Amino acid sequence: MNEIILTRIKLISVLIISNIILFYKDAFYLNLIFFLFILFYVFIREKFFEYISWLKPLFIAVIIIFVIQLLTKESLIVSALSSLRILSLSSLIFLLIQTTKLSLIVKALNFLPPQLSFVLSLSLGMIPQLTKEIKQVTIAQQARGHKINWNILKSYLPILVPLFTKSFIRSEQISISMQARGFTF
Amino acid sequence: MSIVIDSISFQYESKKIILDSIKLKIKKGDFVAILGKNGSGKTSLVSCINGLIPHAIPGKLTGNIFIDDKNTRDQSIGEISKKVGTVFQDPDLVIFNLTVEEEVAFGVKNLNLNNPEKRVHDALETVGLAGFEKRDPQNLSGGQKQLLCIACVLAMGTDYIILDEPISNLDYSNAKLVYQILKSIHEKGKTIIVVEHDTDMVWENSTITIIIEDSKIIMNGLTKQVLKNNQELISLGIRPISKNL
């Protein structure tokens, strides 16, 4: 089958599954099965370390949500479901990125209005660049003795500010270079 | 007191070999330049010295690196940064504070060093940014940002300073200014290790030059000896010295 059509089917499936994960009530076992299915994929493809580093930034959010839900006297299963929803959703995106080339996703979206498809392709194209920059900034700040600790704001400010600055500069450069090549809305 | 690199090899998780059986000794007080084509392994070599390999950059490292007789494997990046300071190619990757003085003080506070105000003041004075203390770093020019990054490392008082292509984004006058400052720091007894493509600056300023090709050190010696043959440099993909053309 044509690769682009296959990617479109994949994108629609991701949309449907993510809706089920988010909005289907009492979906604990459904989420659990889905989560275990992705863990199985990660295991057989030996992508364990990549998967862990993908989920790492979410762990704190997952724990906080779980604790808050429990404190607000929700049942254990409801609290676990909220946390599981986040893990399942992010695992779904991980699965999509691992199995689909970014260029194919961009091509699969070309049925959208040109401006919208352009914005989407630009945003998707930024992901690998941004991932690379997060690593570079983290390394650069570590070399200045910076450590990540319990103080989240203090820990992540030296990483987030350069990241945003670079992103704004790049967006401006892209916008100028697009206009210089005759792109208008 | 020196940096000893004892037969190290490094490969990324993709199995690509980046450094192959590197043996090197950098004595305290040297001004070392590392030259080579893009992708030859220059940045990876300095990443071994400042501990980013193996602590932050994943891959397989064999062999050992000793900074003043201490193995980098046994120290964290934070501990190594007390001895080895690093100036990165792109200042925008590092700068995040609202004022110049806060930016310079960041490393000093992280390492709990004494006399932070004096360190910040002295560092800014050395790089010619005295009077800029309250300015927003984002509003500085490219050259000034790079000087600010050098000040950040100077304030940390490290014995060894690594600079990864510090003048690649700068015009000639700013590049010359950066090297003048590096030379003055070197004369005060600091060891400078610079990854560079500008061979003219290397010729004028460094004492030792190392050339890396295909993950191996192929030349290591006095700068005036290593860089004397322009034809050889061209064949290695390195820019020839204008003076010798």
The verdict on a CB contact (< 8 Å) between B94 and A138 is: no
How much of chain A is in helix, strand and coil states, percent to nearest 5?
Answer: 80, 0, 20
Instruction: Measure the CA–CA gap between A35 and A18, rounded to whole angstroms.
Output: 12
Superfamily grouping for domain B29-45+77-244:
P-loop containing nucleotide triphosphate hydrolases (3.40.50.300)
pLDDT in tens, B224-240: 999 888 888 898 888 88
The verdict on a CB contact (< 8 Å) between A145 and B107 is: yes
Residue A133 and residue A94 in one domain? no
What contacts B15, CB < 8 A, 6 or more positions away? none
Q: Using CA coordinates, name the residue in chain B closest to A140.
A: B94
The verdict on a CB contact (< 8 Å) between A146 and B88 is: no
**Domains held by chain A: number:** 2
pLDDT in tens, B70-102: 999 998 888 888 899 999 888 888 888 888 999
The verdict on a CB contact (< 8 Å) between A144 and B107 is: yes
Of residues A173 and B215, the one with the higher pLDDT is B215
Contact B195, B43 (CB under 8 A): yes
Instruction: Measure the CA–CA gap between A65 and A84, rounded to whole angstroms.
Output: 10
Token output for A174? 């892209």
Q: β-strand B191-195 against B31-36: which pairing, if any?
A: parallel
Strands lying side by side in the sheet with B216-222 = B84-87, B160-164, B191-195, B31-36, B208-213, B216-222
* Final residue of a structural domain among A104, A136, A155: A104
pLDDT for position B202: 93
Contact residues on chain A for B77, CB-CB shorter than 8 A: 142-143, 145
Residue A9 and residue A28 in one domain? yes
Residue appearing with tokens 């997952």 = A62
What contacts A103, CB < 8 A, 6 or more positions away? none
Residue A79 and residue A117 in one domain? no
* Final residue of a structural domain among A104, A133, A165: A104
- B200 — pLDDT class (breaks 50, 70, 90): very high
Does A74 fall in a domain? yes
Token output for A108? 């699969």
Does A185 fall in a domain? no
Residue A129 and residue A175 in one domain? yes
Q: Could you tell me the pTM of the whole model?
A: 0.75
Contact B100, B163 (CB under 8 A): no
Q: How far is B129 from chain A (nearest CA, A)?
A: 20
Of residues A66 and B25, the one with the higher pLDDT is B25
The mean per-residue pLDDT over the stretch B5-13 comes to: 89
Task: Give the one of A133, A136, A145 whose C-beta lies nearest to B78's C-beta.
Answer: A145
State whether ipTM is beyond 0.95: no
Residue A96 and residue A149 in one domain? no
Q: Pick from B169, B170, B167, B130: which is nearest to B151 by CA?
A: B130
Residue A94 and residue A128 in one domain? no
* Final residue of a structural domain among A104, A127, A151: A104
Task: Give the one of B56, B81, B92 whose C-beta lies nearest to A144's C-beta.
Answer: B81
Residue A59 and residue A131 in one domain? no
| Res B140 pLDDT > 80 | yes
Task: Give the one of A133, A145, A161 whose C-beta lies nearest to B110's C-beta.
Answer: A145
Residue A42 and residue A129 in one domain? no
The mean per-residue pLDDT over the stretch B37-54 comes to: 90
Contact residues on chain A for B81, CB-CB shorter than 8 A: 142-145
The verdict on a CB contact (< 8 Å) between B96 and A165 is: yes
Residue A100 and residue A125 in one domain? no
Average pLDDT, rounded, for chain B: 90
Residues of chain A scoring pLDDT < 70: 1, 26-27, 73-74, 177, 180-185
The verdict on a CB contact (< 8 Å) between B110 and A147 is: yes
Instruction: Measure the CA–CA gap between A91 and B228, rounded to whole angstroms.
Output: 57
Of residues B116 and A88, the one with the higher pLDDT is B116
pLDDT in tens, A14-47: 888 888 888 877 667 777 777 777 777 777 777 7
Q: Pick from B108, B128, B129, B134: which is nearest to B119 by CA?
A: B108
Q: Could you give the angle at which helices B116-126 and B142-155 cross, rounded to 10 degrees?
A: 140
By a Cβ cutoff of 8 Å, what residues of chain A touch chain B?
49, 133, 136-147, 157-158, 160-162, 165-166, 169
Distance (Å) of CA B36 to CA A96, B183, B241: 39, 22, 14
Domain assignment of residue A159, given as a range:
112-180
Chain-centroid distance of CA B113 in Å reads 22
Q: What is the dihedral of CA A23, A24, A25, A28, to 10 degrees?
A: -110
The verdict on a CB contact (< 8 Å) between B85 and A138 is: no
Asked whether the bond before B54 is cis by omega within 30 degrees of 0, the reply is yes
Long-range Cβ pairs for the range B142-145 (8 Å, 24+): B142/B91, B142/B169, B142/B170, B142/B174, B143/B170, B143/B171, B143/B173, B143/B174, B143/B177, B143/B178, B145/B91, B145/B92, B145/B95
DSSP readout, A114-175? Answer: HHHHHHHHHHHHHHHHHHHHHHHHHHHHHTTT----S-HHHHHHHHHHHHHHHHHHHHHHHH
Q: Is B188 exposed, middle or buried (0-12, 13-18, 19+ CB in 10 A)?
A: exposed
The verdict on a CB contact (< 8 Å) between B138 and A138 is: no
